[in-house]
């Protein structure tokens, strides 16, 4: 719900549990007042924030000398006037000046939620679910119009923000910095929580107090990256999983980003998020508009756990689209770690036949099926079947897999080209490069220039041709290098700086075209594992391969961190062989299965090589997962114990109707003596009886919440899965 107080020019964006309030101060400035628990109507705006001018804070040349924008909590600050903190907008005009001063011009409230041109975004899933507020600002001297967009998902405690920048002058305007949001807090008493990592080591949790400086996370790699995820939270210093204030911010974007929190000399904090201005910019011609990516914001006074559940709900219900938004996802087996490039039709069918014996739903053929792809040095871009490996083609293989009662899936890496390929020989200028410079390769490959229409059309055609040629029900869409020597053969010199963003826009256009044409195909994203795990990609791919590291113990940390913002329905998680191919660790098949079942479950090995005892365990895992996958995929997650803080990870998934629970308990290292730990469940009905279905034992909700269930903590890598149902 959006309320407007016309006497005070005050806007109150109200969700079920929160309020977001700002006003138009002095009739000119959008000034932030409050984001947090709901507040009743404000009658005296002057009392809600400190605005007295301080030494060395200019007074903006207005008749009232008691305030300065340098001390105001600005809703969307511009560079060049009296606010010396990091701006949201930095524009450059034809006369060389770089000062923007925008005044309030009006507002508009509308039902529903408009699309964001060319970009993924949240959407209204049912009538009257959302309202949108637009605030209109304009620099009358320079003809720059700004529209601040706020959409309110009342029942989900979610507010989204994005900005539209329009050139209403006769001259071009260069945009050097165009963030999607800033938000000012009146103190610095928060910890900064973010997700950092590297390849095979993604999205580890780091929590650090704010300091009198800026804490910034970003990507300059062309994608959202393994190194930092486009998410952060500001949480109270005493905030826990279940108690205290937590503010979460997530960017619906898959390219270079910047985010962080800056503390100024007065101890106030400015949170910010948007496209990274590093090596970036946009030339806005007369009459053109620029759309920033969307930021999804939520506030919880019930700790980090409720913040996460708010994000999970909006992503599942209002970001992910298509057939698999609500459909139970298939259990899959992927041949990559089983065969790498060394396979033929017979070997793939043998894996599929064994998988069918375990009631696995989907056989996925990974890298190596096209061109002359016997290793990673060749053939990316040559999307035609390698008849040496598959002489009867994909259609024959897919039909044979289907005849077993399984679906068939395929791996692609469409954004890349190998220097050793037919495509590169024909079009060496199609890759991202700078004329005269060395073309650096990673994994012996280059990146196609998706800013070019001819390149986009080629990718759409060849991928659609393959998908039309065989019974393909699943696509793994991979990207195995970042962008270097960022330049385009077709962009004008003054627009080369736009390439990073144009690449992302081109990717979204390609994905929209292909996924729209094949609505029954399940697309899974991947970028060296989790190198592009973001809300932008989830708009097109309802799930993403969480990490190339499939070791069960390392996955405890990765999946715990990922779950701060992303739901289990988005996390691809597989059982792989031991010793693990990434870290060499040997863990029990039950542990590997339980950790993987806490996400989108599958296997990445040759089941024919397992001893019979382990294969029998696989059959039980598949059977059990199919009974609980609706709980994991669509249920509420409660993180009971963190591997970052304890010797184990305990995750509780509760079905939406609150009648079923899947409880995952995994120990990292055993402790001496036969000690026991207990896991206390959360948010149950105290008087109801809960039956643990595997053992038949009965518990009251009060017992499970206050006493808990005991588990052994004296064995390395031990794991158990318990399933409860209301009696």
Instruction: Give the model confidence (pLDDT) of 498-538 as tens digits.
Output: 999 999 999 999 999 999 999 999 999 999 999 999 999 99
588 found inside a domain? no
Res 60: pLDDT: 62
Task: For residue 713, indicate whether it is catalytic.
Answer: no
How many Cβ atoms are within 10 Å of 501's Cβ, its own excluded? 21
14 found inside a domain? yes
CATH number at residue 427: 3.20.20.70
Domain closes at, from 513, 545, 577? 545
Summarised one tens digit per residue, pLDDT across range 282-312 is 999 999 999 999 999 999 999 999 999 999 9
Residues 295 and 344 grouped into a single domain: no
Res 190: pLDDT: 98
Res 635: pLDDT: 97
Residues 184 and 332 grouped into a single domain: no
∠ Cα 669 672 676 (to 5°): 80
Q: Which residue of the set 534, 548, 590, 713 is catalytic?
A: 548
CATH number at residue 691: 2.60.40.1180
Question: For a pLDDT cut of 70, what percent of the chain falls above it?
Answer: 96
CATH number at residue 6: 2.70.98.60
Confidence of residue 491 (pLDDT cuts 50, 70, 90): very high
Q: Total domain count for the chain?
A: 3
Identify the CA nearest to 504 among candidates 518, 483, 490, 525: 483
Residues 366 and 304 grouped into a single domain: no
pTM score, whole prediction: 0.97
Task: For residue 171, indicate whether it is catalytic.
Answer: no
φ and ψ of 485, to 5 deg: 45, 55
Q: Per-residue pLDDT averaged across 420-444, rounded? A: 96
Cβ-Cβ contacts under 8 Å for 282 (sequence gap 6 or more): 174, 175, 178, 290, 498, 501
Res 26: pLDDT: 86
Identify the CA nearest to 46 among candidates 62, 34, 33: 33
Q: What range defines the domain where residue 61 resides?
A: 2-318
- Where do runs of H (alpha helix) occur along 484-611? 499-517, 535-538, 552-562, 589-597
Summarised one tens digit per residue, pLDDT across range 108-148 is 999 999 999 999 999 999 888 999 999 999 999 999 999 99
643 found inside a domain? no
pLDDT of residue 238 exceeding 70: yes
Sign of CA dihedral 118, 120, 122, 125: positive
Residues 472 and 366 grouped into a single domain: yes
Residues 298 and 329 grouped into a single domain: no
614 found inside a domain? no
Cβ-Cβ contacts under 8 Å for 135 (sequence gap 6 or more): 11, 30, 75, 104, 107, 147, 148, 150
Summarised one tens digit per residue, pLDDT across range 187-202 is 999 999 999 999 999 9
pLDDT of residue 370 exceeding 80: yes
Residues 314 and 338 grouped into a single domain: no
Confidence of residue 714 (pLDDT cuts 50, 70, 90): confident
Q: Distance of alpha carbon 210 from its chain centroid, rounded?
A: 24
User: Three-class SS string for 90-152?
Assistant: EEECCCCCCCCCCEEEEEEEEECCCCCCCCCCCCCCCCCCEEEEEEEEEECCCCEEEEEEEEE
Mean pLDDT of the chain, nearest integer: 95
Side by side, the strands of the sheet bearing 660-667 are 636-641, 648-654, 660-667, 719-726, 689-692, 698-700
Give the Cα separation of 223 and 230 in Å (integer). Answer: 10
Q: Which residue of the set 60, 382, 478, 551 is catalytic?
A: 478
565 found inside a domain? no
601 found inside a domain? no
Summarised one tens digit per residue, pLDDT across range 347-361 is 999 999 999 999 999
Residues 494 and 453 grouped into a single domain: yes
Summarised one tens digit per residue, pLDDT across range 619-637 is 999 999 999 999 999 999 9
Give the Cα separation of 348 and 338 in Å (integer). Answer: 10
Residues 225 and 327 grouped into a single domain: no
pLDDT of residue 61 exceeding 90: no
Give the Cα separation of 624 and 597 in Å (integer). Answer: 9
Burial (Cβ within 10 Å: 0-12, 13-18, ≥19) of residue 126: exposed
Residues 21 and 64 grouped into a single domain: yes
Domain closes at, from 318, 353, 380? 318
Could you tell me if 442 and 480 are in contact, meaning their C-beta atoms sit under 8 angstroms apart?
Answer: yes
Strands 18-25 and 10-14: antiparallel
pLDDT of residue 40 exceeding 80: no
Residues 384 and 361 grouped into a single domain: yes
Res 672: pLDDT: 81
592 found inside a domain? no
Domain closes at, from 545, 571, 590? 545
Confidence of residue 53 (pLDDT cuts 50, 70, 90): low
427 found inside a domain? yes
Question: For a pLDDT cut of 90, what percent of the chain falls above it?
Answer: 91
Residues 416 and 532 grouped into a single domain: yes
Residues 470 and 362 grouped into a single domain: yes
């Amino acid at each position: 719900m959006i309320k407007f107080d016309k006497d005070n020019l005050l806007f109150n964006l109200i969700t079920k549990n929160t309020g977001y309030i700002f006003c138009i101060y002095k009739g000119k400035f959008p000034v932030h007042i409050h984001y947090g628990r709901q507040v009743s109507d404000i009658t005296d705006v002057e009392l809600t924030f400190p605005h007295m001018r301080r030494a060395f804070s200019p007074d903006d040349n207005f008749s009232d000398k008691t305030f300065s924008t340098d001390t105001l909590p600005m809703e969307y600050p511009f560079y060049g006037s009296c606010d010396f903190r990091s701006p949201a907008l930095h524009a450059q005009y034809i006369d060389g000046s770089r000062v923007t001063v925008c005044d309030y011009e009006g507002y508009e409230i509308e039902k529903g939620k408009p699309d964001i041109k060319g970009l993924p975004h949240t959407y209204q899933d049912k009538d009257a679910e959302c309202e949108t507020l637009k605030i209109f600002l304009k620099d009358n001297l320079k003809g720059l119009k700004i529209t601040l967009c706020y959409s309110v998902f009342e029942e989900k405690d979610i507010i989204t923000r994005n900005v539209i920048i329009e050139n209403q002058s006769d001259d071009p305007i260069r945009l050097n910095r165009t963030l999607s949001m800033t938000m000012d807090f009146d103190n610095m008493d928060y910890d900064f929580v973010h997700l950092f990592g590297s390849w095979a080591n993604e999205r580890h949790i780091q929590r650090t107090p704010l300091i009198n400086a800026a804490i910034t996370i970003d990507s300059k790699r062309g994608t959202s990256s393994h190194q930092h995820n486009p998410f952060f939270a500001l949480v109270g210093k005493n905030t826990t999983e279940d108690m205290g204030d937590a503010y979460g911010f997530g960017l619906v974007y898959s390219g270079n980003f910047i985010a962080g929190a800056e503390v100024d000399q007065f101890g106030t904090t400015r949170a910010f998020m948007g496209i990274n201005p590093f090596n970036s910019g946009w030339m806005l011609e007369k009459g053109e508009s620029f759309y920033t990516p969307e930021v999804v914001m939520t506030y919880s006074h019930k700790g980090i756990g409720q913040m996460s559940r708010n994000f999970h709900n909006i992503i599942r219900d209002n970001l992910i689209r298509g057939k698999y938004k609500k459909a139970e996802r298939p259990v899959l087996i992927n041949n990559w770690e089983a065969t790498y490039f060394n396979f033929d039709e017979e070997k793939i069918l043998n894996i599929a036949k064994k998988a069918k014996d375990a009631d696995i739903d989907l056989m996925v053929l990974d890298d190596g099926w096209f061109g002359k792809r016997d290793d990673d040095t060749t053939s990316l871009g040559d999307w035609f079947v390698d008849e040496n490996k598959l002489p009867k083609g994909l259609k024959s293989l897919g039909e044979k897999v289907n005849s077993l009662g399984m679906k068939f899936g395929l791996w692609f890496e469409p954004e890349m080209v190998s220097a050793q390929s037919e495509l590169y020989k024909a079009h060496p200028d199609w890759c991202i490069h700078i004329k005269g410079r060395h073309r650096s390769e990673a994994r012996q490959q280059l990146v196609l220039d998706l800013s070019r229409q001819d390149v986009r059309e080629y990718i759409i055609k060849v991928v659609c041709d393959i998908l039309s040629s065989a019974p393909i029900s699943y696509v793994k869409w991979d990207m195995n290098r970042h962008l270097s020597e960022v330049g385009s053969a077709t962009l004008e010199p003054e627009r080369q700086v736009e390439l990073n963003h144009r690449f992302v826009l081109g990717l979204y256009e390609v994905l929209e075209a292909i996924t729209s044409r094949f609505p029954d195909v399940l697309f899974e994203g991947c970028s060296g594992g989790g190198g592009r795990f973001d809300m932008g990609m989830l708009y097109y791919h309802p799930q993403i391969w969480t990490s190339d590291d499939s070791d069960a113990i390392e996955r405890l940390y990765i999946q715990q961190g990922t779950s701060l913002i992303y739901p289990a329905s988005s996390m691809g998680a597989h059982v792989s062989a031991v010793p693990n191919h990434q870290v060499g660790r040997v863990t029990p098949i039950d542990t590997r299965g339980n950790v993987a079942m806490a996400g989108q479950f599958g296997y990445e090995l040759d089941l024919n090589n397992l001893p019979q005892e382990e294969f029998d365990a696989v059959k039980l895992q598949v059977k059990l997962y199919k009974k609980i996958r609706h709980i994991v995929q669509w249920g509420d997650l409660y993180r009971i114990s963190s591997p970052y803080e304890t010797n184990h990870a305990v995750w509780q998934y509760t079905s939406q109707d609150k009648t079923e629970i899947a409880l995952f308990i995994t120990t990292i290292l055993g402790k001496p003596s036969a000690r026991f730990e207990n896991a206390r469940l959360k948010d149950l009905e105290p008087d109801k009886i809960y039956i643990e279905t595997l053992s038949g034992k009965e518990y009251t909700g009060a017992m499970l919440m206050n006493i808990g269930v005991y588990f052994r903590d004296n064995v390395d890598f031990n794991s158990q899965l318990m399933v409860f149902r209301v009696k």
